[in-house]
Amino acid sequence: MESRIRPRAANTDPPPSRIERLCIERGLKMTGQRRLIARVLSEAEDHPDVEDVYRRALALDSKVSIATVYRTVRLLEENGILERRDFGGGRARYDPADRGHHHHLIDVDSGKVIEFADEEFEALARAMARRLGFDLVGQRLELFGRKVEAEPTRSGGRSKARSS
C-alpha cells in the first residue's frame, strides 16, 4: 500500500536518506536507530569515527546506544555500504563506499583529510602488483603533506580532488 497519500507525515517523517535507501535495497530491517544512523552517515562529509556518529545521532534524537552504533556500522560495512578506514589513532573511521574509489591526503599541520582519485595511480598499482605476480584486489594509499607556499600547479590534471 502506498503510504505517500498520507496528508502530513510532516516533521516526524523525514525522507529516507541516501544510506537508508541502500539499506532497504539490501533488505535490511530498518529500525528507528538504523534510520537515524543512516541519516547521520549520509550527511557526513568527513570520516567520522563511532563516537562522532554516536554524538551526532544523539543530537538529532537521543534514542541510540553506542553499542547499536557499533553494530550498525559493522553491518553497513559488511554490506558494502561503508568502508572502514584507519588513519591511526586507534579508532576506526568510516567512509561511505559510494563516494567512489579514492585515496586520502592528510594535511599534517591541520589534520584535514582531502580525498582524491587518480587514474594514473590506479594503473600503476595494478602494474606493481602484477610485476610481483599478483592480481590486485585492494589497495590503500595515504599521502601526508604540508601546504606548499606558492600556488599549486593548476590542477587541470588527471586527479579529481574533494576536500573533507
Partner DNA sequence: CTAAATGCAAAGGCTTTGCAAGTTC
Partner DNA sequence: GAACTTGCAAAGCCTTTGCATTTAG
What count of other Cβ atoms lies within 10 Å of the Cβ of residue 81? Answer: 22
Q: Rg of the chain's alpha carbons, rounded to an integer?
A: 19
Nearer to its own copies, 58 or 97 (CB): 97
Instruction: Point out which residues pair with 116 in neighbouring strands.
Output: 103, 161
Among 42, 68, 79, 159, binds DNA (CB under 7 A): 68
Rounded CA separation 99/115 (Å): 10
Residue 14 is a binding residue for DNA (CB under 7 A): no
Among 9, 24, 30, 128, binds its own copies (CB under 8 A): 128
Residue 146 is a binding residue for its own copies (CB under 8 A): yes
Span interacting with its own copies, options 8-16, 17-25, 35-43, 153-161, rule CB under 8 A: 153-161
Rounded CA separation 68/61 (Å): 14
Span interacting with its own copies, options 23-31, 45-53, 60-68, 141-149, rule CB under 8 A: 141-149
Span interacting with DNA, options 65-73, 101-109, 133-141, 148-156, rule CB under 7 A: 65-73
Rounded CA separation 18/23 (Å): 9
Residue in the block written with cell 606548499 = 148
Question: For helices 50-60 and 66-78, what crossing angle results, to 10°?
Answer: 120
Among 6, 8, 29, 154, binds DNA (CB under 7 A): 29
Rounded CA separation 78/60 (Å): 25
Residues that bind its own copies (CB under 8 A): 86, 88, 105, 107-108, 114, 116, 118, 120-121, 124-125, 128-148, 151-153, 155, 157, 159, 161
Binding-site residues, please?
A: 101, 122
